[in-house]
Amino acid sequence: MTDLRPAGFDRRRFLAVGGVVGAGALLAACTSNDTGEATNDNSQVATGSNDNAAPGTKVTIGFSGPQSDHGWIAAISKNAADSAKRFSDVTFEPVEATNEVTRQISSVETLIDKKVGALVILPFDGKALTAVARKAMDAGIPVVNLDREFDTPQAYRTLIKGDNYGMGVAAATYIGEQMKSKGVANPVIVEIAGIDSLQLTQDRSRGFAETLAKYGFNVTARQAAQFTVESGQQVTANLLQAQRKIDAVWNHDDDQGVGVLAAINQANRSEFIMVGGAGSANAMRLIKEDKGVLKATVTYSPSMASSAISLARLIAQNKGLSDLVEKQVPKSITLASETITKENVDQYLSLGFES
Amino acid sequence: MTDRTEAPAAVEVPPADEQGRVEQAASATASPRLGGRLSEVRNLGLVGVLVILAIVGVATTDGAFLTRSNLLNILVSASIIGVVTVGMTFVIIGGGIDLSVGALVALSSVWATTLATQDYGPVVMVLCALLVGMGAGLVNGVLIAYGRLVAFIVTLAMLVSARGLAQSLSDRRTQLVTVDAINDIATTEVLGIPLLVYLFAAVIAVGWVVLNRTTFGRRTFAVGGNPEAARLAGIDVRRHTALLYVVSGLCCGIAAVMIMARTTTGSSTHGDLYELDAIAAVIIGGTLLTGGRGTLIGSILGVLVFTTITNLFVLNNLPTEVQNIAKGLIIVAAVLLQRRSRASSP
Amino acid sequence: MDALLTVSGVVKEFPGVRALDGVDLEVLAGEVHCLLGQNGAGKSTLIKVLSGAHRADSGEVRWQGAPVAFGTPVAALRAGLATIYQELDLVDGLTVAENVFLGHEPATLGFSRRGAMNDATRVLLDRLGHPGIRPTREVGSLSAAGKQVVSMARALSHHARLIVMDEPSAVLDSGEVANLFRVIRQLTADGVAVVYISHRLDEIRQIGDRVTVLKDGRTVAVGLPADTPTPEVVRLMTGRNVEYAFPRATAAPAGATEILRVEGLSRRGEFQDVSFSVHSGEIVGLAGLVGSGRSEILETVYGARKADAGTVTVDGKALRSGSVRAAIRAGLGLAPEERKSQGLLLHEPVFQNVSVSSLGRFSRGGFVQRGRELAEAARVAEQLDVRPADPKRVVRTLSGGNQQKVVLARWLLRGCRLLILDEPTRGVDVGARTEIYRLVRDLADSGVGVLLVSSEIPEVLGLSDRVLVVREGRVVHAGPADEIDESAVLDLVMEGAVA
């Protein structure tokens, strides 16, 4: 009980405490993701130079989307918010992003109760949110259905979505043409899909396979990843073992594509061409550099969120699309899936999203 | 029924209860070092499973399975989850469970790949990943050991909040690693074998030595096998328990560095469901979920079995859903096989 | 009146122990028959044979005149013989009615008829004089006494003709005991017989009709009237057949240094104001019933429990309360009561169990030097004659006596100053006991102080130099072991005063 050493001289404890404090300081300094540059202002929002851009009646637009770690969904939310900011007559009212259907339903209900002027909804599950979207429509709130379609047209005023089948078609067309011009008779074509249980993945694969068939080609090997970098890497590492020589790869998603490319790089493979999907900024930069296997990507652009906000505003203000003859916004818009290659990448760079 | 009537007997003739008699009968025929043999037999069962998988691989893949590059590929694929499993083995032998491993891998990878961290260079990035893992592990350990909370709950909470923190740090974006020294870890080969495999082997070797040759390892078995006896024998059970979670966190940090190199990214989606894979590997490796008994080698064999299964399925171009069904079946089969070989052993 | 249950010449043998060595018992319908005997006399084994948990090796049990051998507790219950153990076997999460009818719920097509069940339970509780307990109440929220009533209702729901109660009053306060007696009288008035086991002679005189005394697995008196005088009963209980050889102290511990001093030690609800000291070379024994606080005192001295008040001093230095590590560092060692659950790493080999408290000595830089560890542990194990003499053998496969030696070896290896032994010979067979006694005395002769607790009074008296008698958390007597005899101690622990 008579410890003669003062507590301060306990060297081990002193070092331990010092170490913990130092480690804490180090970690605290490591949390920032600030680039130090001004945030890039190449946002994918309508430039609006026509009559419709002029401020009209004030509109509150409610926005509800799923929560995700996926760069694409993150870009959707960001685009919607940025786009709303451009309009002085729009008040943007986003609700908490969630991947739980019941919570998304109740947050949409909150927006209905607030009597917003228009709703933009990207449902986590189109079927499950149909009822609440109809409820909004019945309450006189126009709904812009973003990308994942509701069960019935009565649940939305306007649908704007990407073309999943078209993505497959575009990717297959690019690969088909390349193989033809290279004169490859029986190409080994590998497909790395996204989450297999999703309808959109199945649509993409169907478009891909059906279009390849027109060239007389088929998919040699197909594996599904999880839209995550890690799963893309894992699946590709194994696939490369299975196929010693590959002619072309289509990867559905540029986010998981980072992992796909890492695996290709680590296996030292470069004998094939690769086509991406969705159109991330990173993929576009690689296409522009033209140093690796990635030669093209087919778009499924999150810019549709910006357009959805524009459409919601026009609908609420009772305006049409100024370049169209009709006085009203069309009922449905499907975006074309475009093929970005080295030749045209510059004009798309501003639309690429950061994964 | 017998259990309930057994209890009061302790008052008068505990040594002579039926259990004691059964044990004595068993010890008369079985080897006195039953425990040691048993785990060896379990491991043999797993080696058997691996051999069967290899035979299936050779038979179905037209030469693609049994190539140097594919075998190395299996080892590399196993390396990341394998390192996590080493930490998990310590925790489970010590009588705990760590559900947060996958989330800790994600958090460490994100923290170590923020732009600010990458500015400091590769050494700080590695240090950062290890410190984040150990720090989160320490939080787990302190809450469990000193806060007397249930490990399942604490690490479940850590799972949720670490992933949340990873999401908020990364703003849900994939952070590309632009520091070449990190990315090189995945591409460097020494004597024709990838650096990741050496790392994996090093972690296993250190883990094995610590578990089997140090006081720390000895105390891990004691704390997991009989915490009350360990306490009364003078082991600081609480500090030891806390340290076990730090070990697990450290392994997650190492795994995070490896995953950063392998995917060239840090992301809050990394390490998805690692907790289940690691626990499954530990269990089929013969470690008791109740703690106190187990082997590191068994856990590693468990990891290899899982990785080989995935590899086989991709090589055969089978769809994911079939993979999942088969994986479940093989887990059950592996455990059944182990029990069989145990029953038939002397 | 016809005998409801007749037991004659029942023998039950376990390896190393003849737990029952010819027991006779006769229980009449509607009587309260008390079963008396010291710890180890065979009471629990007899109950287990009656209830079907154990099978008798030989002898006869007749139930309502016909010879029976209940294979399982369920079979006994179906025949009308119910047993209520000290550790009540109720499911805390279920309601009273669900517990009463657990396993034989009134049901139609698989749907339990809750209404009928609750009604029937209410009738049973009324009959037991406890209409206040709601059948829908959760059992976990009841007191120990309440739970006991539920157990009895369960017995009655099986139409029990005989209910065996194993120390039912141990968990009750005096008011609740009075209530229990009321219930028992109610039962016997209905013709149900009760076999009542207790250590408390006053209770037996209050509630019992007749008494059977067991000693060392034999019946020494069958069907005595309950008002047999205490000295007579005590004489029956203590007259021993088996005498253990206790080694005497070789030298009087006069002038020995004081190792342990305990002053005013208290823990609320467990024990109050306990003071004593242990000198080097001295064995101090604590005698008392289960629940008297004796084990709690030991564990508090060892730091496994934190004292509310009082001090523990070892070699003149006060120990930090509630720290096992501090106690071990000061030189204390414990051989706990529950050897398997508290003392041993059952799946580890002998040498690792021996070395676990001295690992620091065999490690350099955290690495265990296995060779030295094994050699040292083996040396100590050999010194204590642990058999078989294989230090790598898994401890689980050792006999009770040898397991105890492993625990002793652990502290011998560490070189402790004061050894605390809680029930050192529990689960140790007759032959090995003498060995353990010899070892303990040898340790004391080498200068170690020993603090000992045992339920077996002859053991405490025979082994100790000084004896403390504990009753209800207080030391009621302290003095040299050779100045008090077994019956006096028995009186003290049961009655609280020397008869």
**Contact between B116 and A259 using a beta-carbon 8 Å cutoff:** no
**CA quadruple A23, A25, A26, A28: dihedral sign:** positive
Strand C258-267 with C271-279, pairing? antiparallel
**Contact between B9 and C356 using a beta-carbon 8 Å cutoff:** no
The answer to which of A5-19, A256-270, B101-115, C355-369 has the lowest mean pLDDT is: A5-19
Percent of chain A past pLDDT 90, that is, above it, reads 39
**DSSP 8-state secondary structure symbol assigned to residue C349:** B
Classify domain C258-495 at the CATH topology level. Rossmann fold (3.40.50)
Chain centre distance of CA B300: 8
User: What does the mean pLDDT of chain B come to?
Assistant: 82
Strand A273-278 with A248-251, pairing? parallel
With cut-offs at 50, 70 and 90, classify the pLDDT of residue B320: confident
The alpha helices in A29-70, defined as continuous H runs, are none
CATH architecture observed for domain C3-238: 3-Layer(aba) Sandwich (3.40)
Contact status, residue C457 vs residue C489, Cβ threshold 8 Å: yes
**Contact between C53 and B6 using a beta-carbon 8 Å cutoff:** yes
User: What does the mean pLDDT of chain A come to?
Assistant: 86
Give the residue numbers spanning the domain of A203: 164-299
Q: Examine the domain organization and report whether A223 and A256 are in the same domain.
A: yes
Does residue A26 lie in a domain region? no
C306 pLDDT exceeds 80?
Answer: yes
pLDDT for res C47: 87
With cut-offs at 50, 70 and 90, classify the pLDDT of residue A35: low
Q: Examine the domain organization and report whether A77 and A187 are in the same domain.
A: no
Contact status, residue A117 vs residue A59, Cβ threshold 8 Å: yes
| C neighbours by CB contacts (3+ pairs under 8 Å) | B
Contact status, residue C249 vs residue C444, Cβ threshold 8 Å: yes
Smallest Cβ–Cβ distance between A30 and the set B114, B264, B319 belongs to: B114
**Contact between A233 and B127 using a beta-carbon 8 Å cutoff:** no
For range A12-21, the mean pLDDT: 79
Please report residues of B whose CB lies closer than 8 A to that of A30: 111-112, 114, 116-117, 120, 124, 128
Kindly provide the ipTM of the predicted complex, given to two decimals: 0.75
For A193-221, how does the pLDDT look when each residue is reduced to its tens digit (9 = 90+)? 998 888 889 999 999 999 999 999 999 99
Q: How far apart are CA B309 and CA B316, in angstroms?
A: 11
Q: How far apart are CA C6 and CA C25, in angstroms?
A: 6
Length, in residues, of chain C = 499
Q: Return the higher-pLDDT residue of C291 and C31.
A: C31
Q: Examine the domain organization and report whether A190 and A206 are in the same domain.
A: yes
Q: How far apart are CA B216 and CA B247, in angstroms?
A: 11
Q: Where are the beta strands (DSSP E) in chain B?
A: 175-176, 189-190, 193-194, 265-266
**Contact between C14 and B26 using a beta-carbon 8 Å cutoff:** no
For B271-315, how does the pLDDT look when each residue is reduced to its tens digit (9 = 90+)? 988 999 999 899 888 888 888 888 999 999 999 988 998 888 888
Q: How far apart are CA B220 and CA B122, in angstroms?
A: 33
Q: How many CA atoms lie within 13 A of C145 on its CB side?
A: 18
**Contact between C85 and B12 using a beta-carbon 8 Å cutoff:** no
**Rounded to 10 degrees, what is the CA torsion of C472, C473, C477, C478?**
160
For A91-149, how does the pLDDT look when each residue is reduced to its tens digit (9 = 90+)? 998 887 777 788 888 889 889 988 899 999 998 888 888 889 999 999 999 999 998 88
Q: Examine the domain organization and report whether A169 and A272 are in the same domain.
A: yes
Contact status, residue C261 vs residue C277, Cβ threshold 8 Å: yes
Contact status, residue B204 vs residue B81, Cβ threshold 8 Å: no
Contact status, residue A304 vs residue A161, Cβ threshold 8 Å: yes
Short-list C101, C88, C181, C106, CA closest to C143:
C88
Q: How far apart are CA A32 and CA B116, in angstroms?
A: 5
Q: How far apart are CA B317 and CA C496, in angstroms?
A: 83
The answer to which of B127-131, C30-34, C285-289, C301-305 has the lowest mean pLDDT is: C285-289
C368 pLDDT exceeds 80?
Answer: yes
Bridge partner list, A297: A276, A340
Please report residues of B whose CB lies closer than 8 A to that of A241: 64, 67, 69-70, 73, 311, 314-315
Q: Going by C-beta distance under 8 Å and a sequence separation of 6 or more, which residues neighbour residue B137?
A: B98, B104, B245, B246, B247, B248, B249, B250, B252
User: What does the mean pLDDT of chain C come to?
Assistant: 84
Does residue A269 lie in a domain region? yes
CATH number, span B40-341: 1.10.3470
Contact status, residue C214 vs residue C37, Cβ threshold 8 Å: yes
With cut-offs at 50, 70 and 90, classify the pLDDT of residue B238: very high
List the single residue in B with minimal CA-CA distance to C456: B12
Q: Where are the beta strands (DSSP E) in chain A?
A: 59-64, 90-94, 118-121, 143-146, 158-161, 189-193, 221-224, 248-251, 273-278, 294-299, 332-334, 339-341
Please report residues of A whose CB lies closer than 8 A to that of B272: 226, 228, 230-231
Short-list A306, B65, B30, A206, CA closest to C396:
B30
**DSSP 8-state secondary structure symbol assigned to residue A40:** P
For C106-121, how does the pLDDT look when each residue is reduced to its tens digit (9 = 90+)? 777 677 778 888 888 9
Q: How far apart are CA C42 and CA C47, in angstroms?
A: 9
**How many beta carbons lie within 10 A of that of residue C41, not counting itself?**
24
**How many beta carbons lie within 10 A of that of residue C31, not counting itself?**
22
How distant is the Cα of B97 from the closest Cα of chain A, in angstroms?
A: 24
DSSP sequence for C215-245: ETTEEEEEEEETT--HHHHHHHHH--S----
Q: How far apart are CA A129 and CA A145, in angstroms?
A: 10
Q: Tell me how far CA of residue A163 lies from CA of A143, A190, A284, in angstroms.
A: 20, 21, 20
Query: Could you tell me how many helices (H) and strands (E) chain B has, helices first?
Result: 16, 4
Identify the residue among A35, A40, A238, A251 best suited for mutation to test binding to B, counting B beta carbons within 10 A and taking the highest.
A238
Please report residues of B whose CB lies closer than 8 A to that of A254: none
Chain centre distance of CA C171: 14
Identify the residue among B1, B3, B5, B231 best suited for mutation to test binding to C, counting C beta carbons within 10 A and taking the highest.
B5
Q: How far apart are CA B300 and CA B251, in angstroms?
A: 14
Which H, E and C letters describe B273-321, residue by residue? CHHHHHHHHHHHCCCCCCCCCCCHHHHHHHHHHHHHHHHHHHHCCCCHH
Identify the residue among B3, B4, B6, B11 best suited for mutation to test binding to C, counting C beta carbons within 10 A and taking the highest.
B11
Q: Examine the domain organization and report whether A171 and A206 are in the same domain.
A: yes
pLDDT for res B138: 96
List the single residue in A with minimal CA-CA distance to B131: A23
With cut-offs at 50, 70 and 90, classify the pLDDT of residue B5: very low
CB pairs under 8 A between A and B: 142
pLDDT for res B162: 94
**Contact between C19 and B12 using a beta-carbon 8 Å cutoff:** yes
Smallest Cβ–Cβ distance between A69 and the set B176, B264, B269 belongs to: B269
Chain centre distance of CA B108: 17
List the single residue in C with minimal CA-CA distance to B291: C347
Contact status, residue C101 vs residue C121, Cβ threshold 8 Å: yes
DSSP sequence for A146-199: ESSPPSSGGG-SEEEE--HHHHHHHHHHHHHHHHHHHT-SS--EEEEES-TTSH
**How many beta carbons lie within 10 A of that of residue A154, not counting itself?**
12
For range C273-297, the mean pLDDT: 87
CATH classification at residue A135:
3.40.50.2300
**Contact between A231 and B61 using a beta-carbon 8 Å cutoff:** no
Q: How far apart are CA C396 and CA C409, in angstroms?
A: 16
Contact status, residue C382 vs residue C426, Cβ threshold 8 Å: no
Task: Specify the long-range contacts of residues C28-31, CB closer than 8 Å, at least 24 apart.
Answer: C28/C1, C28/C2, C28/C3, C28/C4, C28/C193, C29/C1, C29/C2, C29/C4, C29/C161, C29/C191, C29/C192, C29/C193, C30/C1, C30/C188, C30/C189, C30/C190, C30/C191, C30/C192, C30/C193, C31/C188, C31/C193, C31/C194, C31/C209, C31/C210
Omega before residue A66 within 30° of 0, cis: no
Smallest Cβ–Cβ distance between A32 and the set B67, B115, B128 belongs to: B115
**How many beta carbons lie within 10 A of that of residue A285, not counting itself?**
13
With cut-offs at 50, 70 and 90, classify the pLDDT of residue A12: confident
Identify the residue among B3, B6, B24, B218 best suited for mutation to test binding to C, counting C beta carbons within 10 A and taking the highest.
B218
Q: How far apart are CA A119 and CA A122, in angstroms?
A: 10
C226 pLDDT exceeds 80?
Answer: no
Smallest Cβ–Cβ distance between C410 and the set B7, B216, B233 belongs to: B233
**Contact between A241 and B262 using a beta-carbon 8 Å cutoff:** no
Contact status, residue C20 vs residue C49, Cβ threshold 8 Å: yes
Percent of chain A past pLDDT 70, that is, above it, reads 91
Contact status, residue C49 vs residue C56, Cβ threshold 8 Å: yes
Smallest Cβ–Cβ distance between B13 and the set C17, C166, C360 belongs to: C17
**How many beta carbons lie within 10 A of that of residue B305, not counting itself?**
24
How distant is the Cα of A275 from the closest Cα of chain B, in angstroms?
A: 19
Q: How far apart are CA C492 and CA C486, in angstroms?
A: 10
Give how many domains chain A has, as a whole number: 2
Where are the CATH 3.40.50.300 domain residues in chain C?
3-238, 258-495
Please report residues of A whose CB lies closer than 8 A to that of B310: 234, 238
With cut-offs at 50, 70 and 90, classify the pLDDT of residue B30: very low
A218 vs B: CB within 8 A: no
What's at C358, amino acid-wise? S
Does residue A4 lie in a domain region? no
pLDDT for res C255: 66
Q: Going by C-beta distance under 8 Å and a sequence separation of 6 or more, which residues neighbour residue A322?
A: A50, A51, A52
